[in-house]
Chains A and B, each alone.
Chain A
Amino acid sequence: MSGFARDVALLAIGVVVLGAVPLLSPPDYAMHVLITMVLTALAGTGWAMMGRFGLVSFGHGAFLGAAAYTMALLWNEAGLTPWLGIPAGILVAVAIGMLLAYPAFRLRVVGHYFALVTLAAGEIVRILIVALRDHTGGSLGMTPVQAPPGQQFLAMQFDKTGFWWVALIAWAIGLLAWRLLDRSMSSKALAAISEDEDAAASIGIRVTREKMKVTVISVALAALAGALTAQYRQYLNPESLAGLGISLQIVFGAIAGGMYAAFGPTIGAIITIGLDEALRIGFGTDFTGGAPLVYGLLLVLFMLFMPRGIAGLFERRARPATAKPAAERATA
């Protein structure tokens, strides 16, 4: 069995085993934490698709928000089922991403400048959501219309068990996309690009096209995570689905877990959500602000002492030079 077939089989087994968790009838709260972890992991996996090739986006929150609000507005105002609304939302997010990324890549907006352009884009989406308050409810947020009895499936309004399965499948799609990209020539091309764009172009790599490809995948996964998160919570809010705060949280999770390994962002999501919940249970409301404090401290410590994240600890010491993440060596 080839390495790829083995990985896919392992992933399928993993999804089936995890999918059986509700059979143990865990408390609702545990299921809630698990679902949140898996959806956060998906968003982080999407972000790291670009991040590991040196395309650091501070605006991925925009894609979560664009997809989530498209889906919810289509449901509330046109009665379109989220089963179609989510693909529509992903298309909108991908369109925004391409509109932004194409000129950015074409005109070689890189490094700090790329990060700040994406940051501006994320803010635009957040402010637009707030400004369209007649439809989106502005800063107060919005709730999808509850489905009439018997139509929960059509409205994608499941109980926790149902959502756990949906979330698991989405997460598996994300990991599969990661693995497929790793197998393709594109990942080699992108590694070369992130080291030296001119050199990569000179040996015939289509720089813009390769970057666009990975951007589309990255945006689509983040958008899927955003739409599912909104659908799971049955509540949408511009602060938690767009803007700088959520964008940085996605980045933090992916970095803490390790953005160069497929499971890194998942590890990061387990840590961030676990930490969040542990602090909430341990300290209650007396310790509001404690979670970001600990996050931030960890992020600094990770950068100082463990820039490859937790997954970096499990990497084999001696690896061929090509496997070394390019972003670590790129200087600009």
Chain B
Amino acid sequence: MNLLDPFFLEALVNGILLGGVFALPALGLNLVFGVVDVVWLCYAELVMVGMYAVWFLHTQAGWPLPLAFVACLPIVAALGMLLHLLVVRPLLTSPPINQVLATGGVLFVLQGAATLVFSTEFRSLGVDMPPMEVGEVFVSGTKLAAFCAALLGAAVLWAFLKFTYVGTAIRAIARDREVMPLMGVDPRRIYLIASAVGGALAGLAACLLVVQLDVHPFVGLSFGPITFMICVMGGLGNMLGGFLAAFLMGLIISVGGFWGTTEFSYVVAFAFFILVMFIRPKGLFAR
């Protein structure tokens, strides 16, 4: 086959753009898992709340879109802190399965609450940017903008973790949670901050997704499972691994869709995930 076929190139480009969208929630989940050691099963539902927040502020309250985006981040960050304080912190010493199930309960709560408040109707932001043509390849403007924002978000996160005192403490506690308290770091504070940052990343992901997808209470189920698989594939808690795995998964789905149907491409992606688990149970990029 001809690898320079414009449709194939388009599939490649779309795969990379899709990977950028998956990368943010994968980073957030990995951050929380790496630091707090708890899997937020309801992570995609936090994104869903953020999407509703943007939709409500923009179309109902009449806020300009950029302002709604800016407001979305602290809203979801606050939700992340609330989740940590009310559900995760009391369960820190419980067996992991109880923690996962409790956050699974939060998943139902958020879905139910969204249904109650907004009904099951699909809500659309109704914004679209014109596609751009690069050579023979068409690139969706919204997807490209979302991709750039995702990379920017990842870069800001990296800088925060690398160059600030709190960021250093977060990385240290992810390395060794027994020793760090002895060095004068209060783990309770760090956990709370990590949860807030994880929530903010969900909020950013929400801003990127809400321009591409219609919001409804179960929208989380459409990208939640794949986000978890990306995190596990990269190695739970391994932020760089998750970031790379997001692009790998995006490419598989997009190229799979080029050869077959969309569903087929998801089957291939999930089967690939299971295969990776069997070959490298601790993740593709485990050290």
Contact = CB atoms under 8 A, between A and B. Distances in A.
Contacts of A123: 225, 266, 270
Interface stretch (A71-79, A80-88, A102-110, A206-214): A102-110
- Assign chain A's interface to a size class: 35 or more
A295 B232 CA distance: 27
29 contacts: A56-B100, A100-B274, A109-B278, A112-B39, A112-B100, A112-B236, A113-B281, A115-B100, A117-B274, A120-B274, A123-B225, A123-B270, A124-B270, A127-B263, A131-B263, A131-B264, A244-B221, A248-B104, A252-B105, A288-B116, A289-B115, A289-B217, A291-B112, A295-B108, A295-B112, A297-B109, A298-B105, A303-B101, A327-B97
Interface of B is mostly: helix
B266 A127 contact: yes
A294 interface: yes
Interface of A: 54, 56, 100, 103-104, 107-109, 111-113, 115-117, 119-121, 123-124, 127-128, 130-131, 243-245, 248, 251-252, 255, 287-300, 302-304, 307, 327-332
Given A117-B277, A244-B221, A56 B109 contact: no
B105 A54 contact: no
B62 interface: no
A287 B281 contact: no
A329 B116 contact: no
Interface of B: 39, 87, 90-91, 94-102, 104-116, 119-120, 217-218, 221, 224-225, 228-229, 232, 236, 261, 263-264, 266-267, 270-271, 273-274, 277-278, 281-282
Given A127-B267, A289-B111, A289-B217, 20 more contacts: A104-B278, A109-B278, A109-B281, A112-B236, A113-B277, A113-B281, A115-B100, A120-B225, A124-B267, A131-B261, A251-B101, A252-B105, A287-B116, A288-B116, A296-B107, A297-B109, A298-B105, A300-B102, A303-B102, A304-B102
Contacts of A292: 108-109, 111-112, 115
B105 A289 contact: no
A255 B101 contact: yes
4 closest A-B pairs by CB = A289-B115, A296-B108, A293-B112, A299-B105
Interface centre among B110, B119, B270 (most CB of A within 10 A): B270
Given A327-B97, A329-B95, A131 B108 contact: no
Contact of A288 (B110, B120, B225): B120
Contacts of A117: 232, 273-274, 277
A303 B282 CA distance: 27
Contacts of B99: 303
Contacts of A296: 105-112
A329 B105 CA distance: 22
